[in-house]
Structure 1
Amino acid sequence: MMHPDESIMDVQFFKQFTICYKDKTMILREAMPLRRSSLLAFLMIHHDSVCSVSDLSDIFCAHSKKPEGALRNLIYRIRSALSNVWPDDTFILSRTGGYQWNPKIPVRMDTRIFDALYIQFLETEEIDTRIDLGLQLFKIYSGDFDKLAQSQYEWIQQRSAYYRICMVKLLKTLADDLVSR
């Protein structure tokens, strides 16, 4: 996927939500239903903070009669699926009033790498460097987010739209650079 360092969890959101960690790979759409994989993605993306039970319930369990109980059940099932692959690790922590991705497990996400390179791409004035960065960005952006997930969750749709807009700007800039050469 990204780097072979087993101590860092590599997460790919583009094209297909996939986790690589300790020589094992989990393709989330095969491992769990959409709502669970989307909740896991949300916790991973927001791994620096505690996600409140009320916010998570509103996003993932709004149609349930007992949203907090439904959320607890989703978290339990996600933990079970992850522990089937990585039994020695605890990934989702219960916190006062919420849940959090375990901050002791380092995560490298393709979207964060893309964001950092994209900022460099926008800020650089040197055409050859910008072209090199553009090629790196093309390599990372292997495809749009899961279409079904986008249709079900507005937050995923918004993220997907953001990255598509970045790619359109990238293409326009690269085209302009090539013409100016």
Structure 2
Amino acid sequence: MQTCGTCMKNKKLKKQQVLYVKMFGDFSLEYQGISLIAKKKKETQFARVLQLIFHSGEKGISREHLEKVLFGERTLDDANHAIHSLIYNIRKKLEQTGLPKGKYIISRRGRFYWNKEIPFEEDAQVFEEYCSRARRAGDWEEQLELCWKAVLMYKGAFLKGSAQEGWVKAERERYQTMFRKLVKYMAELLRTKKAYIQLEKLGRHVSKAAPYEEGELLVLEALTGMGRTEQVEILYGETMEKYRQVYMEEELVKLKDFRRKMQEQLDHPYDILDNIQENMTERLEKVKEPYQCNWVVFREIYHMVARMIERSGQQVQLMLCTLTDMEEHPIRSDEYAEVLSRYIWESICRSIRAGDVVTRYGRGQYLVLLINTKPEDCQEIQKRIDAQFRKKNTVYEIRYNVKSVRSLNNAKDDQNLS
């Protein structure tokens, strides 16, 4: 469905005289700084009719299309009467919102239009206008300025919260494709100009407006270009954890590939060993606690430990702590798991040593590396964790699973035997 929505043509009109229609993200109407539509009404027939009429703009929407969207395959005795009754009720409701009195929706030759007496501005239509103007721009500076105006208009998928199929789904996919192409073009242009501050801004906007569309990769690239290596490492770990939790394996592969390219660029300035060591040394107050890290760092530490115990002969245990109910069923509910996650984390950290390592593996599950620990010692550690956890007066429990970390050679032998 192509859009040519009516936008404010007379620039002399004050901003507060325009009805602002937001289609990207959650649907909303705003007039004179006041929201006109409540959350509970955003999926009603009231909202669906307005969405269609605003988005169709000067072309209007046919009675047949409106009937199909509202009633689907249902057969009504008098669909025409039902639609006109609905339009009448919408006019009454709009009048109660504080809009200037008027007819709002007009009918002409079997089509419905928004009344031009109250000008409106729809974000999706403005987005398209900026994209079109950017393509026709004479120089790259003007083009980039228009691209920025377009990309910042996109604040989420088209009618993100709508469960409608048909025209909404088609438009959502069309705008997503336009947004991806726009971001790709802007990123290439900003790379060429080495405009890393703007590239970082672009990446952060993409991460917020379209999660898992590789916005984080643009931020990592920008931070790398500016030599902000410490921030790169932190963001990389956070991003890997975020992507892992939603099991987006394809995105994880992309992120790892970028990581390899990024590592090739991370060169530190010349320095002496004393300064390097001092910069790597942990703060004293942190050493009193176990090493707390994200899953990506935890896995790398696990790999390192498996190599070290080959020569040191130390025993290291991997312990999984799972939050369960009284019948030992894992807690997967968002509500319960998130409330108790802080409790179980604190209980573990207060019960293990500074040389041990802990990470949150997933909702209600935590992994602990117990360094220089025998299997029989794990029961005592579990008792300490349970004692801390019971102080929270909760009916939930922690289930434990423990396996010894195998050295590389032993792991290879196990693989050969299997």
TM over 0.5: yes
Q: Distance in 1 between matches of 2:26 and 2:46?
A: 15
Give me the TM-score of the superposition, normalised by structure 1: 0.82
The alignment's C-alpha RMSD in Å is 2.5
Structure 2, unmatched stretches of 5+, are: 1-12, 194-418
Does the aligned pair in 2 maintain the 1:117–1:137 contact within 8 Å?
yes
**Is residue 2:55 matched to residue 1:55?**
no
Superposed displacement of residue 159, structure 1:
1.4
Q: Distance in 2 between matches of 1:156 and 1:102?
A: 23
1:65 to 70, 75, 83: 75
Q: Distance in 2 between matches of 1:128 and 1:49?
A: 34
Superposed displacement of residue 140, structure 1:
0.9
**Superimposed CA distance per residue, residues 23-48 of structure 1 (whole angstroms, 9 cap, x where no aligned partner):** 53223643354333122111122232
Q: Which deviates more from structure 2 when the two are superposed, residues 4-13 or residues 20-29?
A: 20-29
**Is residue 2:176 matched to residue 1:164?**
yes
Q: Distance in 2 between matches of 1:131 and 1:100?
A: 34
- The residue type paired with residue 38 of structure 1 is R
Q: Distance in 1 between matches of 2:132 and 2:111?
A: 32
Superposed displacement of residue 85, structure 1:
0.5
Distance 1:127 1:52, change over 3 A: closer
**Is residue 2:44 matched to residue 1:31?**
no
- The residue type paired with residue 130 of structure 2 is L
Distance 1:37 1:53, change over 3 A: same
Q: Distance in 2 between matches of 1:129 and 1:50?
A: 33
Partner of 2:56: 46
Superposed displacement of residue 19, structure 1:
1.4
2:114 to 95, 98, 101: 101
Superposed displacement of residue 114, structure 1:
0.9
Does the aligned pair in 1 maintain the 2:26–2:161 contact within 8 Å?
no
Structure 1, unmatched stretches of 5+, are: none
Work out the number of aligned pairs and report it: 178
**Is residue 2:164 matched to residue 1:152?**
yes
Partner of 2:328: none
Runs (4+) of structure 1 exceeding 4 A deviation are: none
* Bigger radius of gyration among the two: 2
Q: Distance in 1 between matches of 2:159 and 2:46?
A: 14
Superposed displacement of residue 117, structure 1:
0.7
**Superimposed CA distance per residue, residues 73-106 of structure 1 (whole angstroms, 9 cap, x where no aligned partner):** 4323322321220362321123343432212221
Q: Distance in 2 between matches of 1:160 and 1:29?
A: 20
Partner of 2:187: 175
Q: Distance in 1 between matches of 2:60 and 2:150?
A: 30
**Superimposed CA distance per residue, residues 121-166 of structure 1 (whole angstroms, 9 cap, x where no aligned partner):** 22336333333222222221111123342x4231111111111111
Distance 1:25 1:140, change over 3 A: same
- The residue type paired with residue 58 of structure 2 is D
Q: Percent of pairs identical after alignment? A: 21
* 1:100 match: secondary structure: strand
Does the aligned pair in 1 maintain the 2:130–2:150 contact within 8 Å?
yes
* 2:15 match: secondary structure: coil
Higher RCO (CA-CA < 8 Å; seq separation 6+): 1
- The residue type paired with residue 140 of structure 2 is I
